[in-house]
């Protein structure tokens, strides 16, 4: 077999590779020689051989060409260590093959590295977005990359200008983030909060928007992270605490005082909804938040108050349009 592995004919070496690719008892030196042959010959061994160790495979990922990386990423089972190596040094096609491989064990850090390295690659972005294993913080990072790719597209910039394109995509990312919160398991809220905090995205405006849309569990996770207060106490305060206790918690979290009254107003709406005492949604919550802000005579002395009022008006109008659209569709379907 050693002589066959050195045969000048690639057809002979390929036939040997096919025969030995699934063998547990093949001579390891022969398998190693075939694995370093030209890609067409090495393919069966690289994809299937149980004799190749992670150390060997990681080394070939680091030094091999793209075709070799793709073959290794396509193995029926890819360990977390091997997946990490592919995510760290693999080219985009190799990462794409890894993401499409249901037998690959991929750590959260590896998902993040693929987004950081290949977030501009449309195929990788699509595969990441479709992967149910993708953690919530990585999914948000992917949203940011999609927004950046969209705002930098020549067609979009030619259509509306770079400044307006950036503003619109930023707004779209914020709205997508709220949708992401809806699909995120409560146990993952802490990781998502930490990700947003490190990025500087946990702004008062974003939190006001999340409260207006009823993301109270997520808002509670934010307060736990920012105040160090226990989850049980934060949950109790938000669900039935007095106004003073809630505002004290908001102040401890560092939220601007201008946001306290609007958030309190929204919390009261969502408490009533949770208790079955009223039917309401973002349209009603944002309206009461705006009225609570306007009830403060000094609110608009601060530019932040004006900006918050503008945001709440936009949220209210967006909710009205969404409700009207849903009613029209319901009538059309009746």
Residue with tokens 């998902």: 111
Domain locations in the chain as residue ranges: 135-200, 202-334
What confidence score (pLDDT) does residue 93 get?
Answer: 95
Length of the chain as a residue count:
334
Mean pLDDT of the region 288-297? 89
**Residue with token string 């109790």:** 236
Name the percent of the chain lying above pLDDT 90. Answer: 38
pLDDT at 237: 94
pTM: 0.65
| Over residues 194-207, mean pLDDT | 83
- 3-state percent breakdown (helix, strand, coil) of the chain, nearest 5: 75, 0, 25
The pLDDT tens digits for 3-22 are 555 556 667 777 877 877 77
User: Among 24, 36, 14, which residue's Cα sits nearest to residue 4?
Assistant: 14
pLDDT (0 to 100) of residue 156: 57
Contact predicate 2/30, CB 8 Å: yes
Q: Flag the least confident range among 42-51, 140-149, 229-238.
A: 140-149
Selected residue with higher pLDDT from 245 and 30: 245
pLDDT at 328: 82
Beta bridge partners of 78: 104
* Segment 319-325 mean pLDDT: 88
Q: How many CA atoms lie within 13 Å of 88's alpha carbon, on the beta-carbon side?
A: 13
Q: What is the mean pLDDT of the chain?
A: 85
Phi, psi of 104 (to 5 degrees): -90, 135
Tell me: the pLDDT tens digits for 298-318? 777 778 888 899 989 989 998
């Amino acid at each position: 077999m050693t002589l066959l592995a050195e045969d000048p004919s690639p057809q002979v070496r390929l036939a040997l590779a096919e025969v030995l690719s699934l063998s547990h008892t093949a001579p390891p030196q022969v398998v190693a020689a075939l694995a370093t042959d030209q890609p067409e010959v090495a393919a069966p061994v690289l994809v299937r051989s149980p004799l190749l160790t992670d150390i060997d495979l990681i080394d070939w990922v680091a030094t091999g060409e793209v075709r070799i990386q793709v073959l290794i990423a396509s193995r029926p089972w890819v360990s977390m260590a091997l997946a990490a190596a592919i995510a760290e040094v693999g080219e985009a096609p190799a990462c794409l093959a890894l993401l499409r491989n249901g037998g690959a064990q991929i750590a959260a850090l590896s998902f993040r590295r693929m987004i950081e390295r290949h977030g501009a690659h449309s195929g990788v972005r699509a595969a990441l977005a479709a992967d149910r294993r993708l953690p919530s913080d990585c999914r948000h990072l992917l949203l940011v990359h999609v927004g950046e790719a969209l705002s930098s597209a020549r067609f979009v910039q030619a259509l509306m200008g770079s400044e307006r394109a950036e503003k619109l995509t930023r707004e779209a990312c914020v709205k997508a983030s709220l949708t992401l919160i809806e699909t995120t398991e409560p146990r993952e809220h802490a990781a998502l909060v930490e990700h947003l905090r490190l990025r500087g995205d946990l702004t008062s405006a974003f939190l006001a928007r999340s409260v207006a849309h009823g993301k109270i569990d997520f808002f509670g996770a934010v307060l736990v992270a920012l105040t160090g207060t226990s989850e049980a106490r934060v949950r109790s305060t938000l669900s039935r605490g007095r106004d003073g206790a809630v505002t004290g918690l908001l102040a401890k979290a560092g939220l601007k005082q201008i946001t306290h009254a609007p958030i309190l107003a929204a919390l009261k709406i969502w408490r009533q909804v949770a208790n079955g005492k009223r039917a309401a949604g973002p349209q009603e919550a944002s309206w009461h938040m705006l009225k609570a802000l306007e009830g403060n005579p000094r609110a608009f002395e601060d530019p932040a108050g004006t900006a918050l009022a503008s945001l709440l008006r936009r949220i209210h109008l967006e909710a009205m349009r969404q409700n009207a659209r849903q009613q029209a569709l319901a009538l059309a379907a009746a």
